[in-house]
Amino acid sequence: MHRRRNHLKPNFVGIAGGVLAFISLLPFLPWWTMTLSAAGSSIDLSLYLYRATAMGITVPGLVSWYCWVALALVVVGGILGIVGSVTKYGKKLISGGASLALLSIIIFAVGLLLELSQLATTPILGTTIKGVSLFSSGSITVGEVTLNFTTYLSYGFWLALVSAIVMFAALKTHPKEEIVAPPPIAQPQPIPQPPP
């Protein structure tokens, strides 16, 4: 029996997982958001893997190392998920892509959490900011102004997690090896005897 991998049939679940990884990077899908409100008005501070914005305007200098590492992992993970879905080395590549997508959200969450924990010890505008985390709410007093805040991991983060889950699921749907019977061996024909 001969084994032949069916590598011509794409794994659409794996392709979807890879595409979701890239969608998580779109400029309208932040990975973390902080909403500040006071006197009936509010401001959204959003963190993406490649920029930070306040009310949609880019704020320079707020993107840290963990954002760039997560960005690289998401991009490579998405590429591996897509390429693995259309090649004969599929399962290993898809597995690697899913692992990198999962690692990207872990690095982002841990890096951001470490950075936010420094706010409690580093004064900003003369005050320290306590209680800010990945998911949190509270208030900050700056001078005579009290700002209420709410923070949460946002759409891009969760979409990257879904991407990793979909790529792991693609391992179950990946085309399996087909067992193909060898071509039949031609039986030798008897040599006709000459007539007497």
Q: How far is CA 53 from each of CA 29, 39, 122, 167, rounded to the nearest angstrom?
A: 12, 22, 21, 30
Give the pTM. 0.81
Q: Per-residue pLDDT for 186 more than 70? A: no
Report DSSP state, residue 30: -
pLDDT in tens, 110-162: 999 999 988 777 766 566 678 889 999 998 877 788 889 999 999 999 999 99
pLDDT in tens, 23-62: 999 999 999 999 989 888 899 999 999 999 998 899 998 8
The confidence score (pLDDT) of residue 2 equals 47
Helices (H), 3-89: 12-23, 65-84
Question: Can you spell out the DSSP letters for 126-174?
Answer: TB---S--SSEEEEEEETTEEEEEEEEE-HHHHHHHHHHHHHHHHHHHS
Burial string for 109-138 (b: 16+ CB within 10 Å, else e) reads bebbeebbeebeeeeeeeeebeebeeeeee
Helix pair 155-173, 65-84: axis angle to 10 deg: 30
Domain boundaries along the sequence of the chain: 2-174
Q: Per-residue pLDDT for 4 more than 60? A: no
Place of tokens 């659409």: 12
Contact 119, 168 (CB under 8 A): no
